[in-house]
Amino acid sequence: MNAGSAGTGELLPWGDRRGRQHPATSPTEADRDRALLAGIAARDASALEKLYLRHAPALFGLCLRILGDRGEAEEVLEDVFFELWERSDRFDPGRSTPLAYLTTLARSRAIDRLRRQIRRISVLDIARSPAETREPATDGETPLEAAQGGERRRLVAALLEALDEEERRVLELSFFAGLSHSEIAARLEQPLGTVKTRIRRALVRLRDRLEERVRGAELP
């Protein structure tokens, strides 16, 4: 039984209402996103606008990284938020945070579009790495990012950079170019087993190093 919700409601005295933690991990930020998603489900367009203002730069950076074309990335970004508006019931609050859901949606839609582009150009040229030839996002850190976890993003980018070169390469082809294991094997002329092992190692190393940093940060 939840006495709080039956009576005056639970009071959550979040200390820092302008939370400085990463939006994906901070309870304050994730709760704020959940409240905005509830507004979207109630067909409140201003909630969609607020959610867009909070996360569009991060998601646009992701779409640009995958597609390498501002026009294409803009269209995907618009489609992602419109899909959220039209199908907000697909988000399961018990399973993930709104930012994780939005990130998955943006990555998936950007990769779908990338694969369609590649098919248009040449089915034979699929082995050429789109992720490697993309123009980098050069806008730099936005004020929003600075407020919402730029430091965390830079840490992940640095950890990615510190991976073994071959491992990072296969991870990027898999994650940011959406290539299957066999496509990566063909692209890099490597045995399939090697590709699988490298993707696994890269992800596990990234996870373990992130966990080490978190444990290190918790120590007094």
How many residues in the shown chain lie near other proteins by CB under 8 A?
90
- Is 177 among the residues that bind other proteins (CB under 8 A)? no
- Is 123 among the residues that bind other proteins (CB under 8 A)? no
Burial category of 139 from C-beta neighbours within 10 Å (exposed 0-12, middle 13-18, buried 19 and up): exposed
Residue 121 CB, shortest distance to other proteins, in Å, is: 23
- Is 117 among the residues that bind other proteins (CB under 8 A)? no
Answer for which of 37, 67, 88, 107 binds other proteins (CB under 8 A) is 107
Burial category of 53 from C-beta neighbours within 10 Å (exposed 0-12, middle 13-18, buried 19 and up): exposed
Hey, CA dihedral for 91, 108, 149, 72, is it positive or negative?
negative
- Amino acid at the residue 159: L
- Is 3 among the residues that bind other proteins (CB under 8 A)? yes
Residue 111 CB, shortest distance to other proteins, in Å, is: 8
* Region for 189 from its dihedrals, namely left if φ exceeds 0, alpha if ψ lies in -120 to 50, beta otherwise: left
Which of 177, 188, 181 minimizes the C-alpha distance to 117?
177
- Is 145 among the residues that bind other proteins (CB under 8 A)? yes
Residue 51 CB, shortest distance to other proteins, in Å, is: 11
* Residue with smaller CB distance to other proteins, 86 or 164: 86
Residues 10-69 touching other proteins, rule: CB under 8 A, are 10-18, 21-22, 24-27, 30, 32, 42-46, 48-50, 52-53, 56-58, 60-62, 64-65
* Residue with smaller CB distance to other proteins, 94 or 122: 94
Residue 147 CA to residue 187 CA, distance in Å, equals 39
